[in-house]
């Protein structure tokens, strides 16, 4: 995967070395020799990842990282700090500033490329979700505005480790900030992860008789666990396993002996990132739902009805199966608006939609056709069966007065319904709807509050 990588270092030879290595791996490389220039490039959205030196004059790497992570426009940008500092306290300072990882000079090429590719993949997913959400909102309400608000605390953590001396120490460190569950059996861990909503799974790579990377791979491939953050816990000599884990989808890793503060900082970062991506996905789903849902009644809207009914019609025609349509219209609805106001009319429509839903099956399609008209599409139903459904709806609507929110009055409401079933001569769903509409017209013409089925 190609990406734009910003290399920030005040020493030209260091910049040239990293630029050469990254370019050979087909990354596009931008460079900056100081903090302010790096911030300007990032704020313009010109890069996908930052390789940031710590020791720079005027503004050091810690301050640059802190500013990037505290700005809504750059908080999602992965930052890898590259430095000669190798003490745990230095890593912790970088992680607290918001860095996604720490690489120590001289930088190992394999580790560098594995980390860059892993973080670029994560950012690509975030960018895609954000783009979809922005498009569905027509450019308003950038979700990155809330990116800095997430604390990464009180996450639900699954720790997969079969060494009591290890998991007791790790669990104690994390339990101050998160809800931690320990599972020694990797097979049971997979089941627990699939059945529960964990924010992060920590996997020991030295499980007795089991390859921890297998569990990592399973978590990445299963739909219910695909988005959970995965952090590997490795021994010093597990370098090849760690790199392989990053390649198959692990988000981060820790090396034993695990520093308590680094553990807390890395888990916090992963929980924060996972929750932000989750909000983006929820926003995209909400926007998709809103695009096919009538805001007043909660039923599907006309746009969805047209597409879905056409598909159902085509399928039933191919299989020679039955398909019926009910077209419902509230009797004298205009007089309700005229006498009681449009708010009362809206309440009637909402209650009308609720009653229809309670009397239809999950496989039936219920949609608002327009105004006070609703459509019910009944798959696998003959004309007589559809007429029975229509009569049941008509009786339920007319048998109980519609109440209002102020509870000061109730209103008797009736409905007229036209019913039609697919005929071999029908060429499209519109033929079916047209016959239902003609039947509805006859029901209105014959006195309302009745069901009329279209003639074959």
Q: Which residues are catalytic?
A: 372
- Alpha helices per DSSP H over 320-421: 333-340, 342-358, 383-399
- Alpha helices per DSSP H over 106-251: 109-136, 164-174, 186-195, 212-221, 239-248
CA atoms within 13 A on the CB side of 354: 9
Per DSSP, which regions of 171-300 are E strands?
179-183, 200-204, 229-234, 252-255
Length of the chain: 456
Measured distance CA(403)–CA(415) in Å, rounded: 16
CB 416 within 8 A of CB 443: yes
In the block, which residue shows the tokens 């926003």? Answer: 283
Q: Which of 59, 62, 58, 67 is nearest to 81 (CA)?
A: 62
- Strands of the 323-330 sheet, one edge to the other: 365-370, 373-379, 323-330, 415-421, 451-453
Measured distance CA(367)–CA(290) in Å, rounded: 14
Cβ-based neighbours of 133, under 8 Å, separated by 6 or more: 143, 280, 283, 284, 287
Number of H helices, E strands in the chain: 15, 17
Per DSSP, which regions of 33-99 are E strands?
49-53, 79-83
CA terminus-to-terminus distance, the chain? 60
33: which 2 tokens? 């020799």
Q: What is the DSSP annotation of 384-395?
A: HHHHHHHHHHHH
Measured distance CA(100)–CA(452) in Å, rounded: 66
Burial pattern 190-226, b for ≥16 Cβ within 10 A else e, equals: bebbeeeebbbbbbbbbbeebebbebbbbbeeeeebe
In the block, which residue shows the tokens 């219209």? Answer: 329
In the block, which residue shows the tokens 């996450």? Answer: 155
């Amino acid at each position: 995967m190609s990406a734009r990588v910003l290399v920030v270092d005040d020493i030209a030879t260091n910049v040239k070395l990293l630029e050469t290595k990254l370019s050979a791996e087909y990354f596009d490389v931008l460079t900056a020799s100081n903090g302010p220039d790096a911030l300007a490039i990032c704020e313009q959205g010109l890069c996908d990842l930052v390789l940031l030196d710590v020791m720079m004059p005027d503004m050091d790497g810690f301050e640059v990282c802190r500013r990037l992570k505290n700005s809504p426009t750059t908080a999602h940008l992965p930052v890898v700090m590259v430095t000669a500092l190798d003490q745990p306290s230095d890593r912790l300072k970088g992680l607290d500033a918001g860095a996604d990882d720490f690489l120590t000079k001289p930088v190992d090429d394999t580790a560098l490329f594995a980390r860059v590719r892993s973080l670029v993949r994560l950012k690509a997913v975030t960018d895609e979700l954000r783009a979809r959400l922005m498009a569905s909102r027509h450019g308003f309400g950038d979700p990155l505005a809330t990116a800095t608000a997430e604390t990464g605390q009180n996450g639900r953590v699954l720790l997969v480790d079969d060494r009591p001396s290890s998991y007791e120490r790790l669990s104690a460190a994390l339990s101050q900030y998160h809800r931690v569950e320990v599972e020694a059996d990797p097979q049971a861990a997979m089941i627990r992860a699939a059945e529960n909503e964990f924010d992060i799974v920590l996997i020991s790579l030295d499980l007795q008789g089991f390859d921890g990377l297998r569990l990592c791979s399973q978590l990445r491939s299963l739909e219910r666990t695909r988005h959970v953050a995965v952090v590997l816990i490795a021994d010093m000599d597990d370098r090849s396993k760690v790199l392989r884990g990053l390649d198959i989808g692990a988000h981060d890793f820790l090396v034993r002996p695990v520093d308590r503060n680094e553990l807390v900082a890395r888990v916090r970062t992963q929980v924060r990132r996972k929750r932000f991506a989750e909000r983006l996905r929820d926003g995209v789903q909400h926007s998709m739902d809103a695009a096919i849902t009538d805001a007043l009644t909660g039923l599907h809207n006309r746009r969805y009805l047209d597409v879905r009914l056409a598909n159902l019609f085509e399928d039933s025609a191919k299989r020679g199966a039955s398909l019926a349509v009910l077209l419902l219209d509230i009797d004298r609805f205009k007089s309700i608006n005229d006498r009681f106001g449009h708010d009362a009319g809206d309440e009637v429509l909402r209650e009308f939609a609720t009653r229809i839903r309670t009397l239809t099956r999950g496989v039936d399609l219920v949609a608002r056709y327009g105004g006070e008209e609703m459509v019910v599409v009944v798959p696998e139903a003959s004309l007589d069966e559809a007429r029975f459904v229509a009569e049941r709806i008509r009786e339920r609507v007319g048998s109980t007065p519609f109440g209002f929110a102020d509870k000061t009055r109730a209103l008797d409401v009736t409905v007229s319904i036209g019913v039609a079933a697919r005929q071999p001569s029908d060429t499209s769903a519109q033929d079916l709807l047209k016959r239902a509409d003609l039947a509805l017209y006859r029901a209105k013409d014959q006195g309302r509050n009745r069901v009329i089925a279209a003639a074959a």
